């Protein structure tokens, strides 16, 4: 009889960096459950992610560099995961695992991109990259929210979001055990990302230590995660599956709320384990993290440090090897390496000689040489542009604070590492040219478009938060929409989302006084007079029709709607709401629906 393969629990936190653990020396933060896990795990101590969240998630789930996976921003439609790449969930499901995801997705909006389309049997998630962003349900907060279960809205009132995710994951695990089916449970919590909303009982121990309010709440959110990790591990023990369950725990980038740094990246307040920079930076403080791997039956236990250079995209090939996952036909090779050897104490010369490239683009179209680092066992070549002093520097890997620039002393090393970067960039050329579109619904479903995914916006960082909608921020861009099913389509544009259903011109009262939740500003009234909609072919589809219509806006109208016959093809969809001063804004929300009427050639 063949033994059942191990279960897998993959926990990812949002903005918890290397220094945001008790076991890495944080002088204030207490994380007893995580410290206990670390004490009995293999600890990847030279482990690197991307400097921002969506790219890290793309690399983690695809086993490829984030740019190859199509993701190099959290905005601008550049967080849509390459449809041609099988995900880790696809691999597990094809191998007989039950797959579940609970928490933050942030790898695409709409059909073909959501977790239930990317290999997960069960999924519960919020919209966008943060609870309260544009793709999320209106006025969601960390204590009262509408999440989506396999695409269907479901309200969770009076329950903290992190508790929801862990509770749902626990239920999924229990049902999998009852069914005697191995599980892959992906648990990407949205904490401790801002807004720093948490019950005061978690923040108060840090306030009493004199920690500033924001950081105390940041630590409190991690303390709540720690509590949930302890509770879940206890349940695994009760179920009798602790030894047969692989637990992987990591953060998605460097710390955000745990440290403050100056223009050089030097620490000015807080704690970052002696590293330079923080979230977004190309220095180690932006992307070095602690990764814990625990699997007693497989020998991943005992509290060992592995100092070999490793990355988030190594986890997929490692888990695939240990769990015997099927490899889909035609699947592209991953960028990651199987770490099985070093996890059990063996040497791996190939890993010792590798080079990793990390970058932070956070823009629609990537720019070569922007905010990157080339990492090897011995060296760190760092180029700062937007995040840092704007220099190219060379540091020894042992210089954890990256304070001694050795570029002038070792020009040949700089030259060689620049060659590594140039080869890497050239290898990714096709990925940088690819744009992953929305797909117009062809099955009666409605496609929701938000400003969060605008391409071509000149206002950086653009419109992405519901507060931007409230304050009437001025920006615009276009959505890239692929129409597969020719026919008649209805486009409805709005300033407010459907669940608010307020006139385009109307304001909203401020949202204040909600316990433990940050206030939200008043929604200002706008004197919108005209609405314009443009549907034009993408540059690759010049034979398609060009449609453009402008109409007046009634002050009581909640939406402006138009219908067109659209042939199959890829379109740029852009809107303009113009006020009586001539100021133009894009419609923050739009809804695209196939009316059911087929094109003449299809009837």
- From CA 106, how far away is CA 127, in angstroms rounded? 7
pLDDT at 596: 79
pLDDT at 349: 86
pLDDT at 32: 99
227-240 per-position pLDDT tens digit? 999 999 999 999 99
For residues 409-421, give the mean pLDDT: 99
- From CA 42, how far away is CA 445, in angstroms rounded? 46
pLDDT at 592: 97
pLDDT at 331: 63
Set out the domains of the chain in order of their start, with CATH numbers: 7-344 (3.40.720.10), 438-602 (2.60.40.4070)
**Structure-token pair, residue 578:** 């113009």
What's the half-sphere exposure (Cβ side, CA atoms, 13 Å) at 560?
A: 24
Q: Are 504 and 558 in contact (CB under 8 A)?
A: yes
**Could you tell me which residues are beta bridge partners of residue 439?**
482
Pairing of strands 267-270, 259-261: antiparallel
pLDDT reading at 460 higher than 80: no
160-187 per-position pLDDT tens digit? 999 999 999 999 999 999 999 999 999 9
- From CA 387, how far away is CA 278, in angstroms rounded? 10
The share of the chain scoring above pLDDT 70, in percent, equals 98
Q: Helices 213-238 and 161-178 meet at what angle, rounded to 10?
A: 10
Q: Are 47 and 250 in contact (CB under 8 A)?
A: yes
The share of the chain scoring above pLDDT 90, in percent, equals 92
- Widest CA span in the chain: 76
DSSP class of residue 285 equals: H
Distances 474 to 25, 344, 363 between C-alpha atoms, Å: 44, 55, 18
For residues 87-106, give the mean pLDDT: 98
For residues 147-159, give the mean pLDDT: 97
- From CA 68, how far away is CA 512, in angstroms rounded? 43
338-372 per-position pLDDT tens digit? 999 999 999 888 899 999 999 999 999 999 999 99
For residues 280-285, give the mean pLDDT: 99
pLDDT reading at 138 higher than 90: yes
pLDDT reading at 456 higher than 70: yes
521-545 per-position pLDDT tens digit? 999 999 999 999 999 999 866 789 9
pLDDT reading at 272 higher than 60: yes
- From CA 339, how far away is CA 252, in angstroms rounded? 19
- From CA 592, how far away is CA 446, in angstroms rounded? 6
pLDDT at 132: 98
568-580 per-position pLDDT tens digit? 999 999 999 999 9
pLDDT at 330: 59
pLDDT reading at 599 higher than 60: no
41-91 per-position pLDDT tens digit? 999 999 999 999 999 999 999 999 999 999 999 999 999 999 999 999 999
- From CA 54, how far away is CA 7, in angstroms rounded? 25
- From CA 295, how far away is CA 321, in angstroms rounded? 14
Q: Are 363 and 93 in contact (CB under 8 A)?
A: no
Q: Which of 6, 20, 103 is nearest to 60 (CA)?
A: 103
Helix, strand, coil fractions of the chain, as percent rounded to 5: 25, 25, 50
Q: Are 483 and 582 in contact (CB under 8 A)?
A: no
């Amino acid at each position: 009889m063949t033994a059942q393969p191990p279960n897998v629990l993959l926990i990812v936190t949002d903005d918890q960096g290397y220094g945001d653990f008790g076991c890495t020396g944080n002088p204030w933060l207490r994380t007893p459950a995580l410290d206990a896990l670390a004490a009995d795990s293999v600890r990847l101590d030279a482990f690197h992610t991307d400097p921002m969240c969506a790219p890290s998630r793309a690399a983690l789930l695809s086993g490829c560099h984030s740019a190859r996976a199509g993701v190099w921003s959290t905005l601008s439609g550049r967080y849509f995961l390459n449809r041609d790449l099988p995900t880790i969930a696809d691999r597990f499901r094809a191998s007989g695992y039950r797959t579940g995801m609970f928490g933050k997705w942030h790898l695409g909006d709409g059909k073909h991109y959501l977790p239930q389309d990317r290999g997960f049997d069960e999924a519960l998630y919020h919209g966008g990259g943060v609870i309260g962003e544009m793709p999320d349900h209106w006025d969601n907060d960390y204590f009262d929210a509408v999440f989506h279960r396999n695409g269907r809205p479901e309200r969770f009132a009076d329950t903290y979001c992190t508790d929801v995710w862990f509770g749902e994951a626990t239920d999924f695990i229990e049902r999998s055990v009852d069914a005697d089916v191995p599980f892959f449970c992906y648990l990407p919590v949205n904490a401790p990302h801002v807004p720093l909303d948490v019950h005061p009982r978690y923040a108060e121990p840090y306030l009493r230590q004199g920690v500033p309010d924001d950081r105390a709440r940041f630590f409190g959110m991690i303390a709540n995660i720690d509590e949930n990790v302890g509770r879940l591990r206890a349940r695994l023990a009760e179920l009798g599956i602790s030894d047969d369950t692989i637990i992987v725990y990591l953060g998605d980038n460097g710390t955000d709320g745990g440290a403050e740094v100056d223009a050089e990246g030097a620490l000015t307040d807080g704690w970052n384990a002696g590293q330079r920079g923080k979230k977004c930076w190309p220095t180690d403080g932006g992307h070095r993290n602690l990764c814990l791997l625990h699997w007693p039956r497989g020998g991943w236990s005992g509290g060992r440090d592995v100092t070999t250079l490793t990355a988030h995209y190594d986890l997929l090939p490692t888990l695939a090897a240990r769990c015997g996952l099927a490899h889909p036909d035609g699947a592209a090779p991953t960028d990651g390496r199987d770490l099985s050897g070093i996890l059990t104490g063996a040497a791996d010369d190939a890993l010792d000689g590798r080079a990793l490239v990390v970058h932070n683009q956070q823009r629609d179209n990537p720019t070569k040489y922007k905010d990157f680092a080339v990492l090897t066992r011995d060296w760190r070549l760092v180029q700062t542009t937007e995040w840092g002093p704007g220099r190219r520097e060379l540091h020894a890997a042992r210089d954890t604070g990256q304070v001694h620039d050795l570029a002038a002393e070792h020009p040949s090393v700089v030259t060689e590492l620049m060659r590594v970067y140039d080869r890497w960039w050239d290898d990714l050329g096709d990925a940088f040219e690819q744009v992953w579109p929305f797909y117009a619904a062809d099955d009666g479903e409605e496609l929701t478009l938000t400003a969060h995914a605008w391409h071509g916006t000149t206002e950086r960082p653009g419109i992405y938060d519901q507060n931007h909608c409230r304050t009437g921020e001025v920006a615009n861009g276009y959505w890239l929409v692929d129409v597969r099913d020719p026919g008649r389509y209805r486009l409805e544009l709005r300033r407010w989302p459907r669940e608010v259903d307020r006139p385009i011109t109307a304001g909203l009262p401020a949202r204040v006084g909600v316990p433990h939740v940050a206030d939200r500003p008043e929604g200002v009234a706008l004197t919108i007079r005209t609405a314009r909609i443009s549907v034009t072919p993408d540059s690759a589809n010049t034979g398609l029709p060009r449609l453009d219509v402008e109409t007046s806006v009634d002050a009581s109208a909640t939406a402006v709607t138009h219908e067109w016959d659209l042939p199959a093809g890829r379109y740029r969809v852009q809107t303009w709401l113009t006020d009586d001063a001539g100021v133009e804004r894009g419609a923050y929300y739009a809804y695209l629906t196939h009316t059911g009427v087929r094109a003449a050639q299809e009837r």
